[in-house]
Amino acid sequence: MNRIGLIANINKSQAIWAVKKVCELLDDKGEEYILDKASAYLLDREVESLAYEELINHVDLVIVFGGDGTFLKAARTFVKNKVPILGINLGQLGFLTDIEIDKLEEGLDKLLAKEYIIEDRMILEGVVIRQGKVINKAIAINDLVITKGPFSRIINLETYIDNQYVTTYPGDGLIIACPTGSTAYSLSAGGPIVNPKMKSLIITPICPHTLYSRSIVTTVDEEIKVSVDADHNEVMLTVDGQDSFSLLSKDIIKIGKSDLVAKMIKLEGYNFYKILRNRLHNNRV
């Protein structure tokens, strides 16, 4: 399996045990692995480690210990090098992670036996245009979100699909998600659940100040354009709920499918609808 990268959310209470256990199992199997430096501090022995960003060119597969947030950061980091990622769930819902903590050894055995598939997941690319110039670009595994910031005043988001005006959303903001992100913020805002194997874009308003606003699902080849109309300077564009960029009134955000794809490892027996049922009912069986 060549070299496996290990990255943990060191703030999770089960991280120490999980990382130690996986290292022991990999040692027993004679597999080569390397940790990011923060995760290496969880162990009581010296192991090979590199800074997080340096792992990109030194691993062929990554195992992430944490919740969806940890997974999302890793997926954005390694997507350009086409490194597949497997998640061990130390969080709550964990729609993106594949192995539950109580089935760690079983899951790792499947991985090492190559009893898995690699799913190519579409991701988003967003471009911010101000006064005719591109001032920021971002990729997102789940979603790009335009929000009003801390003020209670609504913002108006003039929305186009393939340069055709659709509507203006007055409210707290707008979520543009891909199918992988349909079970994240978009779901909480009332958006549809979309099978992650599909290729589409999902537009979901946040607390719309209207009686008729609904989510819209577009084709993957269409581009979404949003023009910001706000009377304050606290509007933000957030990427997967982790990175953010300040927006001004009259800024234009263009969002579409990225040419990059996220490679996610799914172990034998994985089924999206089973995961969906278990997660939404807080049942991880």
pLDDT > 70 in the chain, percent? 98
* Position 17 pLDDT exceeds 90: yes
Half-sphere exposure of 4 (CA within 13 A, CB side): 22
Residues spanned by CATH 3.40.50.10330 within the chain?
Answer: 3-115+268-280
Q: Given pLDDT bands bounded at 50, 70 and 90, which one contains residue 284?
A: very low
| Catalytic residue annotation | 68
CB 98 within 8 A of CB 104: no
Q: Give, as one character, the DSSP assignment of residue 234.
A: -
Please report where in the chains the tokens 């190559």 appear, as a residue.
114
CA–CA gap between residue 63 and residue 32 (Å, rounded): 13
Which is nearest to 144 in space by CA: 252, 66, 249, 242?
242
What is the per-residue burial (b if ≥16 Cβ within 10 Å, else e) of 77-116?
Answer: bbbeeebbbbbbbbbebbbbbbbbbebbeebbebbeeeeb
Q: What is the mean pLDDT of the chain?
A: 93
What is the reported pLDDT for 94?
Answer: 76
CA–CA gap between residue 72 and residue 53 (Å, rounded): 14
Which CATH number applies to 124-259? Answer: 2.60.200.30
The two three-digit tokens of residue 2, written as one number: 């060549």
252-270: average pLDDT: 96
Which CATH number applies to 3-115+268-280? Answer: 3.40.50.10330
Q: Give, as one character, the DSSP assignment of residue 122.
A: E
* Position 91 pLDDT exceeds 80: no
pTM: 0.92
What is the reported pLDDT for 92?
Answer: 72
> H helices of 4-149, where?
15-29, 37-40, 68-78, 104-112
Summarize pLDDT for 196-241 with one digit per residue, the tens: 999 999 999 999 998 888 999 999 999 999 999 998 888 999 999 9
What is the reported pLDDT for 84?
Answer: 97
Residue 280 CA, chain-centre distance (Å), reads 18
Residues spanned by CATH 2.60.200.30 within the chain?
Answer: 124-259
